[in-house]
Amino acid sequence: MKITRVLTAGLIVLAATACGSSAGGGDSATLRVGVIGSGVGNKLTRAVGFLDERGELLPELKAAGIGKIQVATFQNGPDLNQALAGGSLDIGMYGDTPAIIGRGQGLPTRLVSLNSVRLDAAIVAKKDGGPASLKDLEGKRIGVQTGSYIHRYLLGALQQAGVKPKQIIHMYTPAIIAALEKNSIDAGGLVSADQAAEEKKGYRSIDVASRDHPDLLGTSATVVTEKYLAGHKDIVKVWQRAETKAAAVAKANWPAYTAFVARTGGYAPDISVKTTLKEQLPDAPFTPEGLKLLNGTKAFLVEQKLVRKDFTLDSWFAPQAGARQG
């Protein structure tokens, strides 16, 4: 299914994007990191955030000359891409889809790791007379955060079902939930935690990536700007070691980790426990499963012409990043 190039406009801007209090590019001891979040702002998320909260992240980063971390939180990947393009971030941690699209549009990043795998998403239908299957989305209105891995899953699922909706509308998650409640859209694409929260209210998931389209599960990428990398050669190995340690610490302290995810994501504890899975935290920067998902995502985005210029994954890997495929 060919779609309008809704993602191409506005993803890359040349002006600097303000995101939190800037430390300035000249402060080599401060690492500026962008993350995706909706709960607690300007706080590291996922396993590295848990490691940071325990006071164990900065000691790991000292080997790269880092004495401080400055965090900026964004609602979605295209917004984070803008900050990377504007020079206000050194590292970004976000979904594979916006990371790939950004690179394909010339964003000067290099891939450090896939910090999460098997990220799940679902298509949730409105309550009153809502669609019961993907086929019922023919000619319907669907809300989703365009440019996100949720969007990539939605497009892939619709393509596999041979379904053409009337309209795919760019919405952030709160707007999707409000629109479902008002019946102003027929369905919305949500991450698994938001899906579980909506199901508690009586909404139905008509398609779930992990259940119905495991080939469309997402990954989360860590990228570094080429400018920062040029002056900080050690950042790749140091950051990879920190992420690997973070995953091990999270798995060894799982109840505390799921509680952390609930706090930083703004979810109820039972939702976090249900949707945060140990297998989503890889034991290495790149795993065969993660690379397979990443390759599949890039191939799909190229096919849909959402990547302006194709590139090999090998050319995207940061120097010293480890084993490569693609």
Q: Are residues 298 and 310 in the same domain?
A: yes
Please name every residue paired with 170 in a beta bridge, in sequence order, or none if there are none. 144
Within 10 A of 323 (CB to CB), how many other CB atoms are there? Answer: 11
Q: What range defines the domain where residue 51 resides?
A: 30-119+219-316
Is 325 domain-assigned? Answer: no
Give yes or no: residues 106 and 148 share one domain: no
pLDDT at position 1: 42
H/E segment holding residue 297: helix 288-303
Smallest CA-to-CA distance from 94 within 193, 190, 192, 220 is with 220
Say if residue 306 is in the same domain as residue 284: yes
Task: Please give the tally of structural domains in the chain.
Answer: 2
Same domain, 212 and 240: no
Cβ-proximal residues to 125 (8 Å cutoff; 6+ apart), any chain: 131, 132, 180, 186, 187, 203, 204, 205, 206
Last-in-domain residue among 181, 216, 251: 216
Residue 286 located in a structural domain: yes
In a domain, 24, yes or no: no
Rg (CA), the chain: 19
Give the pLDDT score at 324. Answer: 52
Q: How confident is the model at residue 323 (pLDDT cuts 50, 70, 90)?
A: low
**Residue pair 307/301 in contact by the 8 Å Cβ criterion:** yes
Q: What is the pLDDT of residue 20?
A: 34
Residue 15 has what pLDDT? 30
Are 98 and 223 found together in one domain?
yes
Assigned domain for 143 exists: yes
- Residue 206: CA atoms inside 13 Å, Cβ hemisphere, count? 23
Residue ending a domain, choose from 184, 216, 248: 216
Average pLDDT, the chain: 90
Share of residues in the chain with pLDDT > 90 (%): 84
Q: pLDDT, tens digit, for every residue of 265-301?
A: 889 999 999 999 999 999 999 999 999 999 999 999 9
Domain co-membership, 81 together with 227: yes
Shared domain for 236 and 148, answered yes or no, is no
In a domain, 146, yes or no: yes
> What's the burial of 2, exposed, middle or buried (CB within 10 Å: 0-12/13-18/19+)?
exposed
Tell me, yes or no, whether 94 and 138 share the same domain: no
The pLDDT tens digits for 106-145 are 999 999 999 999 999 999 999 988 999 999 999 999 999 9
CA atoms within 13 A on the CB side of 299: 9
Q: Note the maximum CA span of the chain.
A: 58
125 with 208, same domain: the answer is: yes
- In this structure, are 112 and 224 located in the same domain? yes
In a domain, 255, yes or no: yes
Give the pLDDT band of residue 5 (cuts 50, 70, 90).
very low
Confirm whether 7 is domain-assigned: no
Looking at residue 13, its pLDDT comes to 35
For 27-55, write each residue's pLDDT tens digit: 458 999 999 986 667 899 999 999 999 99
Is residue 178 located within the same domain as residue 244?
Answer: no
Report yes or no on 17 lying in a domain.
no
Q: For residue 92, what is the domain's CATH number?
A: 3.40.190.10
Q: Are residues 238 and 250 in the same domain?
A: yes
| Whether the Cβ atoms of residue 48 and residue 115 lie closer than 8 Å to each other | yes
> Domain boundary residue among 180, 198, 216?
216
